[in-house]
Amino acid sequence: MDDVPSEFQKPLKLSDLHHGMSLLQGVRIDCYNSMLRDGDGFLGDRANKGAFQERIREWRAIFGRASEDPLSALPTEGPIPKSELDVLLLTGNFKERAVIHSAIDDFAGAFVSVVQSFLELKEWSGTERIVVGGGFIDSVIGKLAIGRAQAILFSRGPAPDLRIISNHPDEAGLVGAAYMLPAEMLKEFNAFLAIDIGGTNVRCGIVKYKLYKDGSVEKTKARSVNLWRHGDEDVSRNDIVARITLSLLELEKRAAKSRLRLAPFVCAGCPGLIGPDGSIRSGTQNLPGNWDGDEFHLGEALEAEVPQIAGNKTEVIIHNDAVIQGLSERPAMRDCRNWAVLTIGTGLGNAHFSNLQVEPPSA
């Protein structure tokens, strides 16, 4: 950690804040949105929720060639909802369970291969823990896949500890923003608005928080979370911005009715590499429309549509969605030096963090 600037050890100030920042209070973002590839394409495509559905289809076909499709009661086109697979895994007959367990095992092996590729990166050297988030793990099948991946990793020797994210996936990408903001932005308020933009869903919500005396975040909670599955509709980038705008205006009214002291800033998590000016440099291939480049700035678009919050000028802060989801685990990671997050959704989000100080585990 000798290369950490001295500013890293000082309280984060409002003047330090910018989009996609890498130095936060007590934690450094070493890298994120790492687009690992081999001759077959992006490695992350082997361990996202689409990859699991592909394995279900493959095992259905294998059983079907020998006898009949054990999942014949389920659709053959499109993804099968996680909830339906969970029910079959717990209550189905032995062939139904066999298909799902086979898919879980295959997916776990692919996930391990991807994890090991990340661990070969210089920035991931010495990783002690990997938090696994994203919508896929909000299911029995997802949790079993990560448990199986952990077993495979341990069987091969020393390996990082895989942990399921502790916040609900619908909330983690919102509440994590509280650990990104300077104390002077938080101390006069007790809530702010947050956005989590993914390849399938957009979530907007009110993040309520409490602070320690030193200004650091003590507790966070997401309230009034609005979820929109844009992946089920034929929408454009402008449609998404318009829907977010309506949601923010509605949430501002809810906060006022609840007498929350709403801060005049919005934290937005979005796939891709975020430039200091708020432009998205790359990595939005799973979003509809063109989000990359200098011609579109999400922050500017939202500030134009929602110029004020609670009577004050709006400021939108943007960072990568996996970074923000990872930061939601910051309180549980204070006792280790190097940790990371992988989010399994439409894509495979990733980020790696280093703590400046390691605190002893709480009793």
Q: Domains of the chain: which residue ranges? A: 38-164, 168-327
pLDDT digits (tens, 9 = 90+) for 76-116: 888 999 999 999 999 999 999 999 999 999 999 999 999 99
CA nearest to 102, candidates 62, 45, 73, 153: 62
Is residue 294 packed enough to be buried (19+ CB in 10 Å), middle (13-18) or exposed (0-12)? exposed
Say yes or no to pLDDT of 7 above 50: no
pLDDT of residue 2: 47
Return d(Cα 302, Cα 288) in angstroms, integer.
Answer: 17
Say yes or no to pLDDT of 154 above 50: yes
CA nearest to 59, candidates 140, 147, 141, 117: 141
Return d(Cα 133, Cα 325) in angstroms, integer.
Answer: 7
Q: How far is CA 124 from CA 139, 166, 270, 281, in A?
A: 28, 22, 22, 22
Beta-bridge mates of residue 354:
28, 338
DSSP-based three-state secondary structure for 162: strand
**Assigned CATH for 168-327:** 3.30.420.40
pLDDT digits (tens, 9 = 90+) for 298-315: 999 999 999 999 999 999
pTM exceeds 0.85, yes or no? yes
